[in-house]
A and B are shown apart, each in its own frame.
Chain A
Amino acid sequence: MSIEVKDLTYIYDEGFVFAKKALSNISLNILEGEIVGIIGHTGSGKSTLVQHLNGLIKPKKANTVVIDGVDIFDSKINLKEIRRKVGVVFQYPEMQLFEETVEKDVSFGPRNLNIPEEDVKERVKNALEMVSLDYEKYKDRSPFLLSGGEKRRVAIAGILAMNPKYLVLDEPTAGLDPWVRVEILNELLAINGKGTTLVIVSHDMDEISKIASRIYVLNRGSLALEGSSDYVFSQFERIKELGLSLPQITEILYMLNKKLGGVDYNKLDIDSGTDEILSCIKRCNKWK
């Protein structure tokens, strides 16, 4: 089962002065259990794409967005089912917090599913646990008096409580400090470990390199690059051209290779990267 996007094009305000082509001929595939990264600049079409994945924007052609075999173009399908299956965490989801307490806010979704109150509570507990918030400690607190990182977590928990099969997160760590960022990424990895498929939209290459196994790079509404994260990060010239940044260690190795040659720059983590720098220095000293 999977989310399939085939030849998707989307134009905002088609036929008006401000008409803007946001997506052109996008095809991608998200398989069950994966972590897929979607990278691109502001304005590259990332968020427009995301809104297609749960039918918030409907494609204009049949068979362009197919979720677990269901074409969302079909007017007879139950979009509610689709949205239950594909949970979307929007950018700055904390802006959607509205309830008096954390418990009420997170339970808003499941409570609308007509399931027993016991089950709702269980889901809320689990969801909060998944984002490392202690249920007893947080349940009665106002979501508005929490720190930025805590608010973000509560908002993510609100989606998790719907038990989505696919979880799409649009810039899940934007605007958070580096510590919280790392914590939330680790929580996402654990959520994926329990079987939820993740689609993470970001402009932070570094972050994506740490978490995604496959990457799609969007540029001006088109797919500019796609493949395993190792492959995508080996396309340095192309990444630079697209104005995206590489993980710093990779960039250093790449520059060293340009100057000295013979450097293996396909390293994304600091430990193996620094080893490569040292062995490169040793080699050069020998030549001298």
Chain B
Amino acid sequence: MSFIELSNVSFKYPGQDFLVLSEINLSIEKGEFISLCGANSSGKTTLGRLINALLLPIEGKVIVDFLDAKIQSNVIPIRKKVGMIFQNPDNQIVATTVEEEVAFGPENLCLPSAEIRERVERALSITGLKDYRNYPPHLLSGGQKQLLAIASVLAMEPDCIIFDEPTSLLDPSNRRIVINKIKELNDNGMTVLLITHRMEEVLLSKKVIVLKDGKITFTGSPLDLFSLNTKALIELNLYPPEIVQIINKLREKGLYIPKEIVNSVDLVNYICQ
């Protein structure tokens, strides 16, 4: 059995008459890096929330590390195993200093204070926020705030983190910092599910899943996804990234470009060969 297993999962919000997700089957192994794409209202965020038991399916099963999310006593253990990072870090920051923010989770686990200290230290050093430990969070930059949110989740020592568009509110340089950190976490064994619209982020993962109208419409490698032509991507409700549009346009105009080429540097080198 995989670390996370969703079988025939369907979900709708109370009061709505349509399914947000229907018959989703998905398994995630420990240590995997999966990205999840799809247009707005395709069900991405809902899927993420089902995996850490913030929401429960109306049909089907969500199993995390052999724990069935439907059983009430499993909910807290599941949330400890699966952490979540949202688009806007301001929505999850509660404390008055960086250090206290990171300690908030472990404190609520009623851990001994030496252990809390240790976890805070580790989380701050992984995210590079040690120098900011006494800062009030609102004086951090957007990227630092997102790193702080990540540190707070790390202090809970989860096995998996779901990132729900963690960089969509950041500028390019902060985006790079956060995304590199996510990659580094995965290199060190963290299971990562990354919900994103950004192709350069999708390329970091080994596997990409595309949702459309609550159904999985594509599963495969990022290269397979981006070698689809512009029309096929639009059918998946994905907005073709600019580089894919450029490559497809060149192909349309008669230039052969192998599917391994998905970034501008490789494209330029290929043309100059």
Given A177-B239, A249-B242, A270-B242, also A42-B174 (CB < 8 A) = yes
Smallest CB–CB gap between A247 and chain B, Å?
Answer: 7
Question: Is residue A18 within 8 Å, beta carbon to beta carbon, of the partner chain?
Answer: yes
Q: Which residue of B lies closest to A205 (CB)?
A: B172
Question: Is residue A227 within 8 Å, beta carbon to beta carbon, of the partner chain?
Answer: no
Interface positions of B from 114 to 171, Cβ below 8 Å from A: 139, 141-143, 165, 168-171
Given A247-B242, A255-B268, also A42-B250 (CB < 8 A) = no
A42 and B146 alpha carbons, distance in the complex (Å) = 13
Smallest CB–CB gap between B131 and chain A, Å?
Answer: 16
Residues of chain A contacted by B253 (CB below 8 angstroms):
274-275, 278
Determine the main DSSP class of A at the interface with B: helix
Q: Which residue of A lies closest to B37 (CB)?
A: A177
Smallest CB–CB gap between A183 and chain B, Å?
Answer: 11
Given A274-B249, A274-B253, also A147-B242 (CB < 8 A) = no
Interface positions of B from 209 to 262, Cβ below 8 Å from A: 237, 239, 242-243, 245-246, 249-250, 253-255
Residues of chain B contacted by A256 (CB below 8 angstroms):
268, 271-272
Question: How many A residues have CB within 8 A of the partner chain?
Answer: 40
Question: Is residue B73 within 8 Å, beta carbon to beta carbon, of the partner chain?
Answer: no
Smallest CB–CB gap between B214 and chain A, Å?
Answer: 14
Question: Is residue A69 within 8 Å, beta carbon to beta carbon, of the partner chain?
Answer: no
Question: Is residue B207 within 8 Å, beta carbon to beta carbon, of the partner chain?
Answer: no
Question: Is residue B25 within 8 Å, beta carbon to beta carbon, of the partner chain?
Answer: no
Residues of chain A contacted by B41 (CB below 8 angstroms):
147
- Which chain B residues have a beta carbon within 8 Å of chain A's beta carbons? 39-41, 87-88, 139, 141-143, 165, 168-174, 197, 237, 239, 242-243, 245-246, 249-250, 253-255, 264-265, 267-268, 271-272
- Which chain A residues have a beta carbon within 8 Å of chain B's beta carbons? 18, 41-43, 92, 147-149, 174-180, 182, 203, 206, 243-245, 247-249, 251-252, 255-256, 259-260, 270-271, 273-275, 277-278, 280-281, 284
